[in-house]
Amino acid sequence: MFSSPDGKRLLAAFLAAPLAAPIAYVLGTLAVEALRRDSGLSTRAAFDLVIGVFTLGAPSAYFAAWVAGVPSYFVLRRLGMLARWTVWLGGAVIGAAGALVLAPYLHGDLFSIRFPWWTAALLGIVSAEVFWRILGATATGAAR
């Protein structure tokens, strides 16, 4: 366990970590597209991807972080269970739950967006790791 982080570091972690999910999603999608043989990904398509992901993904990530992540952090800290693996688990659960909640709204007549729960769980883990690193927990010897 580790002592309570200063308020500025905690606030920075809660403000920055949710952005890791849309950034990771964009980078992952661009990497997959670059590796495909038939990919003709244009600069315009990449720009549209960034705009689309950040328009929907960033607000969703912040909503999930503030509604579920903040209370989870304080509960884990209060119970003395704050560790990298519990933060990762919380991020994965919050991400997967978010994808399941969004699923009905991502499928429509005009267009649909594939966003499986497991992808969101991985993005939640990425955000959790960014949160953990900003928090400075690894520097205090609490990394597990």
Contacts of 109 (CB under 8 A, 6+ apart): none
Tell me how far CA of residue 10 lies from CA of 15, 16, 21, 88, in angstroms: 9, 10, 18, 17
- Residue ranges per domain, the chain? 7-140
Has residue 3 got a pLDDT over 70? no
Q: What is the mean pLDDT of residues 83-91?
A: 97
pLDDT of residue 136: 86
Question: Which of 10-24, 48-62, 106-120 comes out lowest in average pLDDT?
Answer: 106-120
Has residue 94 got a pLDDT over 70? yes
> Tell me: the pLDDT tens digits for 24-36?
999 999 998 888 8
Helix ranges (DSSP H) in the chain: 7-35, 43-64, 70-79, 84-102, 117-135
